[in-house]
Amino acid sequence: MPANNLHNFISLLESEGELSRISVSVDPVQEVAAITDQICKQPGGGQALLFEHPAGGHFPVATNLFGSPARICRALGIADLSELTVRLRSLLGQVTDPDFKSFDRQITALPEFSLFAPNACDATDPALIPMAPPNLLHFPFLQSWPGDGTASGQSRYITLPQVFTADPDGGTQNCGIYRVQLRGEREAAIQWKAGSGAARHAELYRRAGKAMPVAIVLGGDPATLFSAMFPLPGELDELTFAGFLRGAPLDTVSCRSVPLRVPMGVEVVIEGYVEPGDTVIEGPFGNHTGFYAAEAPAALMRVTSISHRQDAVIPATVVGPPPMEDCWMAKAWERLLLAFLHKLIPSITDIHFPFESVFHQSAIISLENPQPGMVRNVSAQLWALPWFAVARVLLFVSADSEPVDISRAAWRTFNVTDFTDDIIHDRATDRIAVDATGCRLPRLEVKHSAETAALVARRWKEYKL
């Protein structure tokens, strides 16, 4: 069974020897991040960490909770990440004539998917205590890197926020993960990207001349965090998708000061409003590329209410040069994306996001029975999807060259690619597709026969190697 809240998940990890407690005082300004960074670089992603006494804070901080495939599986209640592909493929099998422009509506219309729509309770969460007065500085939010926030002198960030917004008509809410910079006791800057759900809602409120309600949630069921992180098709409801991931609908409750609903069982809820056009300069911010994202305008949120569990734990993540926790989290999206892609482009049989591509949407893609010209066609289809709109490099291999990993893909690239004909350069956007399928080659790839491989497997113990 999946863990239904952060406390249960932490207890589960500790019982399985996957959690280390740090009992000494540790500074949330850079020290927590430096420790976490070193642990993330260990083989397999290292342990989850619980900093019990962050300096100047009243609550523990948990990092690297999802920094391994095993812990992601524990969080989602599955035995292997491949189960995500199988489950989503089964659901998408009910969609006829898939079309990406209406993919979200096609999925929403499925009776099986609607079973996971959240249950609504009109009351607030009784486990949450209102903070009077609200004070963001009461929490041990992190500064990860020395240059973070130097444009404004505001260096600390909420790094795993689930940001809830809705359109002015009160339709389906959006939940996304955007970086949130503390600006004082009752102000925060939210850096949502153009085209995101929150950005669309903010534009609608700007046109209406109204302040937009916002709720920032920390913790809760891990399925909600993953659903918020995933770039789901269109406006597919994140809470319903979280219900699909966890195998049961979420329970939602009312906020105290804004007309929004949030999941029950979370650690902290921060509520407030963003006035139309009210922005501040946020950044720089050290991100997964290993460099700082430049300072830029961000929406200014004015806090109206904060509530929290008495024993709240603050979840946080540290991003930087890979491998880091977010690299492993992206593997869950990779397995779900495979199901989406296979439905839209059936010739795609697998996909792999190397850690080295640092989330630039570059990928290694396996094609079934590749033919000359297929890579050009498929790469054009992928570049038309928002998932790959800014993918710097798409590297295509044949499905029979499994396993798909960066080492084997590089080997094939150097050995089977014709660098005159097999490099497809989209000069308008400077994107590249590489045909490393070998489909133009007249020779067969060197492989042991299936009979020999089976013989060696049977006799391996006899060899005493």
pLDDT at 360 over 90: no
pLDDT score at 442: 63
pLDDT at 244 over 70: yes
Among 209-223, 356-370, 391-405, 439-453, the range scoring the smallest mean pLDDT is 439-453
CA atoms within 13 A on the CB side of 117: 11
pLDDT score at 289: 81
pLDDT tens for 148-163 read 999 999 999 999 999 9
* Average pLDDT value for residue range 428-443: 78
Tokens at residue 352, please? 């792999």
User: What phi and psi, each to the nearest 5 degrees, are found at residue 438?
Assistant: 75, 15
User: Across the chain, what does the average pLDDT equal?
Assistant: 92
> How far is it, in rounded angstroms, from Cα 440 to Cα 205?
54
Show contacts of 376-382: CB within 8 Å, 24+ apart: 376/424, 376/433, 376/435, 378/345, 378/347, 378/348, 379/424, 379/433, 381/344, 381/345, 382/341, 382/345
Domains with residue ranges and CATH for the chain: 6-315 (2.30.110.10), 345-435 (3.40.1670.10)
Provide the b/e sequence for 301-319 (b: ≥16 CB within 10 Å).
bebbbbbbbeebbbbbbbb
Among 355-364, 395-404, 437-446, the range scoring the smallest mean pLDDT is 437-446
The three-point CA angle 375-377-380 to 5° equals 105
pLDDT score at 358: 61
DSSP 117: P
pLDDT score at 443: 57
Tokens at residue 409, please? 């893909």
pLDDT tens for 175-186 read 999 999 999 999
Letter for the amino acid at 255? C
> How far is it, in rounded angstroms, from Cα 307 to Cα 100?
39
Q: What is the pTM of this model?
A: 0.92
The SS3 call for residue 39 is: helix
Question: What angle do the packed helices 6-15 and 69-76 form, to 10 degrees?
Answer: 130
> How far is it, in rounded angstroms, from Cα 3 to Cα 65?
12
Tokens at residue 344, please? 């839209």
339 neighbors 92 (Cβ within 8 angstroms): yes
Q: Is 276 left (phi over 0), alpha (psi -120 to 50) or beta?
A: beta
